[in-house]
Amino acid sequence: MKIFKTCFANLALLWSFLVSITLAEKTLLSSKFGEQCNGIYSKSESGGTLNPAIYINWTQPWDVENEIEVLIFRWKDIKQIGKAKENGERVYLCDYDAAYTDHLCEPEQIGFYIWNATSAKTVNSQIVSSYPTNIVYDINHSGYYCIWTHSLKDKHYQALVDWQNAYGNLPASQYPRLPLSGGITIAYSVILALWMFFRFQYKNSIVPVQRALLIVFVFSCITQALTSIILDTKNLRDRTGFTWISEFIVSVIFSLEKVIDFILLLIFSWGYTSYSPKITERLMKQHSLPLVILFLSLFSVKFFGISIQSIHLGLWYGVFLTIAVSSSLVLLYQVLMDFPSTLQAMMERQFVSLHINYKVLRISAAITMVLNTAFCLVAFAFCASTNHSSSSKIWKFRWFFMDGWMDALHLIFLSLLAFLWRPSPKNLELDPHGLNYPDFDPRLEEELHLIQEDINLT
């Protein structure tokens, strides 16, 4: 279809833009960016063969007179770091005012972090001198950990931080995608197996809409299995060229699935239960632009969500998410506007089974419209949040509110279609052509009235 050719023609430019952003992400500790925070799982919670730890590897050049203080701690112990002034402001670094004016630390502590060594269980402080040694901080409990650094001599420094989880190389905020992707693949496999069982049982009366849905179910099952394999392979490898390609493939598959959902909704809202050239013509004339925008924006959302390891996704993610949800709301609104005439036409033609199915679809479209708006607001709030206190509480399930909920809605939508159009003894009632009725277009309301009048006269 021309719509997808247009989509893929723009993906190369968009992908290069996204890669440049993700490559520019601050993955190094330095004199300019002396703080990093991230979630990390313990071995007991996530399983795996590796020892979870935070590795800080110093890079050259290193000033021979430099001294760096490194403070590593679990955010849960943040209250044990620093002291509060009389006005409530918290001071974390001992300076002249903190020592002599506010008396929060001793004069010999000037230049060092202030923390309670007796109560802070997870805090580790080290001084790295002119002969830098790499730091290994072992993780015994899952949590949100931070690294604070500063130079005592106000010199330049740089270090590479590796957040090593026991299960492999996936970021901790992305790890739940791995088992969930396998679970969704199993769910699609069960739906497909049940569908094939009933299809074989009633194979002599299968109608076109059921053949089309079978293709969609097979596609979703294969793509989810492929996504699971790619995530597993990505987890076992370091970030390489394969990683970028796999993230690109996952993002394309994700976007394609969701666009197909909206195309199916649009086709059903027009009353079609078998393919007609009018479907392609109407899609291209009326809905090609929102569908293309939806595809590209969903690709961006997914690519950001699985490629950027930072707990804060930033403004660009929020922009693409807003565009994706806005275009989906436009399409859903058009779907809801087309359903009434279709339902009326079915009542006039006495398509009882189809009328019931379409009423359920209309209700589900309205619910989807509300859920899209709600999840977009929540995701945008998470995206805009740069507060470590809130990030420490949401890092394990942030992925679901970013884009995981879209996979959940896709699974629910296909399960609903599988139930409504399941093969049964009433197969022919699910397709007007199977009942030997002439082709009808619910948009042609006047012609339907004329036909009804002719029937009444006879």
Under the phi-then-psi rule, with left for phi > 0, alpha for psi from -120 to 50, and beta for the rest, what region is 436? left
pLDDT score, position 453: 59
pLDDT score, position 400: 86
Query: Which structure tokens are listed for 81?
Result: 């770091």
* Distance, CA of 80 to CA of 120 (rounded, Å): 6
pLDDT score, position 456: 57
Buried b (16+ CB within 10 A) or exposed e, 288-326: eebbbbbbbbbbbbbbbbbbbbbbbbeeebbebbbbbbb
Helix (H) or strand (E) segment spanning residue 37: strand 35-40
pLDDT score, position 145: 92
pLDDT score, position 362: 93
> Tens-digit pLDDT profile for the chain (458 aa)?
454 454 544 544 444 434 433 333 335 788 888 888 888 999 888 888 889 999 998 886 777 778 889 999 999 888 888 888 878 788 888 888 888 888 888 888 888 888 876 666 778 888 888 777 888 999 988 999 999 998 888 888 888 888 889 988 888 888 888 888 889 999 999 999 999 999 899 888 888 888 889 999 999 999 889 888 888 888 887 656 677 788 888 889 999 999 999 999 998 888 877 777 788 888 888 888 999 999 999 998 888 777 765 555 566 777 888 899 999 999 999 999 989 888 888 887 788 888 888 899 999 999 999 999 998 888 777 766 667 777 788 888 888 888 888 999 999 999 999 999 988 888 788 876 544 444 445 544 455 555 555 555 55
238 phi/psi in degrees, rounded to 5: -75, 170
**Is the domain covering 170-457 a CATH 1.20.1070 domain?**
yes
Strands lying side by side in the sheet with 143-151: 35-40, 143-151, 68-74, 124-128
Q: What residue type is assigned to position 374 of the chain?
A: A
Helix (H) or strand (E) segment spanning residue 92: none
pLDDT score, position 13: 43
Query: CA nearest 308: which of 96, 3, 46, 23?
Result: 23
Buried b (16+ CB within 10 A) or exposed e, 30-62: eeeebebbbbbbbbeebeeeeebbbebebeeeb
Q: Where are the domains of the chain?
A: 30-164, 170-457
* Distance, CA of 274 to CA of 210 (rounded, Å): 9
Task: Give ∠ CA 316-318-323 in degrees, rounded to 5.
Answer: 100
